[in-house]
Amino acid sequence: MHSVIKMTGGCTVLTTIHGRKSQIYQVLRGTTLTCLNAGGEVFAGLGHGGPTIYRDWYKLDTSLNTWTTMSQFPGEARVAGTQFSIDGYGFILSGDGDNHSYMDTGELWRYNPANDTWLELTPHPGKSRWAPGSFVINDDIFFFGGVNRYTNTYPADLLSFDISAATVGIEEGLMESTYAYPNPASDLISWEYQPTVTKVVLVNMLGQHIVSSASGAKHMDVSNLSSGLYYVRFYAHNNLLKTSKVLVQH
């Protein structure tokens, strides 16, 4: 069975209805989920269905008409942010967070479809906004409008942000040598990392922190964890550098 859905961001996609994925792109999430084109591919996720706010992320294979689960969004679960694409990357900015209310910062995240990773960039000033607008000219992001739920006001300002300047110094080639292994893992998850990495955090599918370790420890014990998919996050102090998926299987 198939259904044609028009999603937030002007993205119309033919979806395959099966299991839980059938619920993601129906009406309950059709007005607040995030949809973007990154690297010539369609991605969608986040949003809410009733009281549940999601951080899941999927890629659509337009030839096979099937969805693939990608790396979970590492920020707060998100409702009604704004999204755009630049130079093959996807970006998600601001919106409501886990509790469908404002976040302390206007989080800005970049998604790299080439290696299925997320990178947190400088947030916009002030609290996050519900349903803001954005547009892109060259490498400049322009951000405006929405609702400031913290002050219960409707901002009329226009902010700009140079994304190329913000990403100067991010050496993505170096991050390729930062990864977790083995995959699947049964007793220990180990990792290789760049010197900029200071902390490694293991997160479950609900976004809950399970265990954290200094990067120099080079492994963590997962023998007592339930089997399932987990996310290994690599941090430089408080800045998230990379997220990797690892299957724990006993």
3-class secondary structure, 160: strand
Phi, psi of 228 (to 5 degrees): 155, -175
The amino acid occupying position 81 is: G
Higher pLDDT, 235 or 10: 235
Q: What pLDDT, in 10s, does the model give residues 82-100?
A: 999 887 789 999 999 988 8
Q: Which domains does the chain have, with CATH numbers?
A: 2-166 (2.120.10.80), 172-248 (2.60.40.10)
**Residue length of the chain:** 250
Q: What pLDDT, in 10s, does the model give residues 34-84?
A: 888 887 788 989 988 777 888 899 998 878 888 899 999 988 899 999 999
Q: What pLDDT, in 10s, does the model give residues 156-185?
A: 999 998 877 666 555 555 567 788 999 999
pTM for this structure? 0.62
Whether 44 and 58 have beta carbons less than 8 Å apart is answered as yes
Q: What pLDDT, in 10s, does the model give residues 96-128?
A: 998 889 999 999 999 988 788 888 888 999 999
Q: How far is CA 19 from the centre of its chain?
A: 22
- In terms of Cβ atoms closer than 10 Å to its own Cβ (0-12, 13-18, 19+), residue 192 is exposed
